[in-house]
A and B are shown apart, each in its own frame.
Chain A
């Protein structure tokens, strides 16, 4: 490049070094091909990752190709850390395949602020804004990432669209604010001690999902009397109230048309009180009312209920509807119930895959194996092999006790703590307490208080 031939911020081009005279001792420096050119298919795949990324898709083809040639492909195993909060960073990572979890450590726990998948990128805050990493990023599944370091980005963009770089900075700044807000909101919910929402999902009918929900509420109520609610969304037939010996007169479905100012009051008045401590809110009284329970209604209801309870256990039933999907987004913990039968285990395995796809973190998912017969058709190790994960709680065969309790309108975890169902639900309650336990409120000193929200290793 000759003087005066260029304007603006242009990248310098090297001249060929003049070879030294023969008498010099060192060999003349040779330009090395340090960056092997990617193959055609590789380049196409890299381009496709860049084109699907926000902001980058607006770049012209030539620039995208120049960037694609400078990308580094990295394979990261599930659970491995990619970025660590607070460290300096200089690379933008594009997710070519897999999913990553973005976590902000905010005492007393960890807050997952995003789950990123193919087409997303991360690390841009540190790379273009020169800030320390705002969050840690873990590979949730096996990931293939494409890394673009700061030097390559600036080299390619040096004599190109500077406004685009500004846009990237704005996006990074926007995301920084979003993540910060998300983590603050999550911390508020911990500080305000809003209820933990636990979804109980039984992918196959007859696995005992409703029975476990009811007894889990009983076990939690023993620890926090009057502060645990069972929301029965096992449609079309919601029978939790009946099994607890209560007669429902209203339901969530009947609140769908209520205005906002009276919604909370009427909703709380529909809650049924059990003498042992648990409370129950039926989703619908009649099968045809189930359609009234929309994702929006569920969000409104949970927003109101979370202020009044410590735990809200939601019986999600068998079918996956829009309401169920909305609930999965709103729950802090999901319990999948499986019976040791081939079809039930297969359904449980499928549902775990779906929950995984939906971005449910592994430490927020528990599997319960409920023995409905004395001699199970499938052994526990076989179930674990099929589910590709360990069983968190196993409930032994309890004879005819659950059915008898239902007839009598009793909750086993309150009336017969020695029964298998009560012991299993007690273990489940202890598990939930260890993961979501909160400090006692000021007026409740003396109740047990395990602290450590999200204390486990993410990923």
Chain B
């Protein structure tokens, strides 16, 4: 254990005080006590974006607190500064600005954030994706899909797509012609969002999709918890591809599909060890569901 030098301790205390003062100032604005703000976005050791995120976290787009912050930021010229910094030289500045744009739900920043999704700096790309997820709306979702087309299936992009996509966006996109990487991403996003309206397009994908699409769609239907999908998934337990069998077993476990119990028992002697394990896990889930009376 090393003890910090007195100078470092003083500096740390100063940063803490600045952060505390800034938090207080932002909270005053959000609560309507102050209608003006004077903030430098380049305070040493203080991440303004993180503080704004802290205040805006969990608030709805049309919440009064966020609207107050946006109005005050706009009147003080900070909104322009934040958006301008999306094109800054430093990746750190760009990432912080992206976080601020996301936290304040600045919808006008969507086209600039879309450009940052292709950044070679992973921190910047992730911050932009998160910001788009927070802002939401059809344009944010389209930007994320475009990025998935270029970068392939990426967990962060898919999670933010699930968060940002408005009602019926994923469902209608599933019905349109898409590039190979996009359809599995859409299926996964529908599953993450537990979109009951997506069950029908997902069932169509389960029937006509590629191997990868079927594997992901099985899991998505399991997450959604759609009982109507059980017969279609049960048929996949006999598929030649082990990954599809494994995915179907996992989905049936998640769906607590008692009607598939016999078929799952049969999978316990599957030649593939991962399929056997998935079947055992699914049977365990069914057993637990029976005990709990679910």
Interface residues of A (CB under 8 A from B): 1-21, 23-32, 34-35, 70, 72, 74-76, 80-84, 87, 89-91, 93, 123, 128, 130, 145, 147, 149-152, 154-155
Q: How large is the interface on B (under 10, 10 to 19, 20 to 34, 35 or more residues)?
A: 35 or more
Partner of A87, one of B81, B105, B195: B195
Partner of B168, one of A18, A24, A31, A74: A74
Given A25-B120, A82-B197: A31 in contact with B71 (beta carbons within 8 A): no
Inter-chain contact B87/A6, CB cutoff 8 Å: no
Which of B3-11, B132-140, B240-248, B251-259 participates in binding chain A? B132-140
Inter-chain contact B108/A149, CB cutoff 8 Å: no
Inter-chain contact B84/A9, CB cutoff 8 Å: no
Inter-chain contact A130/B137, CB cutoff 8 Å: no
Given A80-B200, A87-B194: A17 in contact with B84 (beta carbons within 8 A): yes
Cβ contacts A to B, 27 pairs, < 8 Å: A2-B77, A12-B74, A13-B80, A14-B79, A14-B80, A14-B108, A14-B109, A18-B87, A18-B88, A26-B116, A26-B121, A29-B113, A29-B114, A32-B111, A34-B114, A34-B139, A34-B142, A35-B139, A72-B169, A74-B168, A74-B172, A81-B199, A90-B136, A90-B167, A91-B166, A93-B168, A155-B107
Partner of A29, one of B71, B115, B121: B115
| Pairs of residues from A and B, 5 with the lowest C-beta to C-beta distance, nearest first | A29-B115, A17-B87, A151-B137, A149-B166, A84-B196
Given A25-B120, A29-B87: A12 in contact with B70 (beta carbons within 8 A): yes
Given A74-B172, A149-B138: A13 in contact with B108 (beta carbons within 8 A): yes
- Minimum C-beta distance from A63 to chain B (A): 16
Partner of A81, one of B108, B116, B118, B197: B197
Q: Judge if B119 is at the interface, Cβ distance under 8 Å.
A: yes
Inter-chain contact A20/B84, CB cutoff 8 Å: no
Interface string of B99-128 (1 = CB under 8 A from A): 000000111111111111011110010000
Inter-chain contact B106/A31, CB cutoff 8 Å: no
Q: Given contacts A14-B79, A15-B81, could you give 18 more A-B pairs where the C-beta distance is less than 8 Å? A: A11-B107, A12-B108, A13-B108, A15-B80, A26-B119, A28-B115, A29-B113, A29-B114, A29-B115, A34-B110, A34-B146, A81-B200, A83-B197, A87-B196, A91-B168, A151-B61, A151-B105, A155-B108
- Minimum C-beta distance from B101 to chain A (A): 9
Contacts of A35 in B (CB 8 A): 138-139, 142
**Chain A minimum-CB-distance residue to B142:** A34
Contacts of B136 in A (CB 8 A): 90, 149-151
Contacts of A154 in B (CB 8 A): 61-62, 107
Inter-chain contact A20/B172, CB cutoff 8 Å: no
Inter-chain contact B196/A17, CB cutoff 8 Å: no
Q: How far is the CA of A13 from the CA of B60 in the complex (A)?
A: 21
Q: How far is the CA of A145 from the CA of B166 in the complex (A)?
A: 14
Q: Judge if B73 is at the interface, Cβ distance under 8 Å.
A: yes
The A contact surface, by secondary structure, is: loop
Q: How far is the CA of A31 from the CA of B114 in the complex (A)?
A: 8
- Minimum C-beta distance from B66 to chain A (A): 10
Partner of A31, one of B89, B111, B169, B200: B111
Q: Which of B37-55 contact A (CB under 8 A)?
A: none
Q: Judge if B148 is at the interface, Cβ distance under 8 Å.
A: no
- Minimum C-beta distance from B258 to chain A (A): 20
Partner of A123, one of B120, B124, B167: B167
- Counting chain B CB atoms within 10 Å of each CB, which of A90, A93, A154 scores highest? A90
- Minimum C-beta distance from B37 to chain A (A): 10
- Minimum C-beta distance from B108 to chain A (A): 4
- Minimum C-beta distance from B41 to chain A (A): 14
**Chain A minimum-CB-distance residue to B198:** A81
Partner of A91, one of B143, B167, B195: B167
Contacts of B187 in A (CB 8 A): none
Contacts of A19 in B (CB 8 A): 87
Given A29-B115, A30-B115, A31-B112: A152 in contact with B74 (beta carbons within 8 A): no
Contacts of A24 in B (CB 8 A): 89
Q: Judge if B67 is at the interface, Cβ distance under 8 Å.
A: yes
Contacts of B73 in A (CB 8 A): 12
Inter-chain contact A1/B83, CB cutoff 8 Å: no
Inter-chain contact A150/B87, CB cutoff 8 Å: no
Q: How far is the CA of A17 from the CA of B116 in the complex (A)?
A: 12
Q: How far is the CA of A46 from the CA of B246 in the complex (A)?
A: 46
Partner of B74, one of A6, A75, A89: A6
Partner of A1, one of B62, B74, B89, B137: B74
**Chain A minimum-CB-distance residue to B115:** A29
**Chain B minimum-CB-distance residue to A136:** B196
Contacts of A74 in B (CB 8 A): 168, 172
Partner of B167, one of A3, A14, A89: A89
Q: Judge if B75 is at the interface, Cβ distance under 8 Å.
A: yes
Inter-chain contact A90/B166, CB cutoff 8 Å: yes
**Chain B minimum-CB-distance residue to A36:** B142
- Minimum C-beta distance from A128 to chain B (A): 8
Inter-chain contact A29/B75, CB cutoff 8 Å: no
Q: Judge if B286 is at the interface, Cβ distance under 8 Å.
A: no
Contacts of A93 in B (CB 8 A): 167-168
Given A10-B74, A31-B111: A150 in contact with B61 (beta carbons within 8 A): yes
Contacts of B195 in A (CB 8 A): 84, 87
Q: How far is the CA of A150 from the CA of B138 in the complex (A)?
A: 10
Inter-chain contact B83/A15, CB cutoff 8 Å: yes
Q: How far is the CA of A240 from the CA of B168 in the complex (A)?
A: 52
Contacts of A70 in B (CB 8 A): 138
Contacts of B143 in A (CB 8 A): 32, 34
Q: How far is the CA of A88 from the CA of B280 in the complex (A)?
A: 34
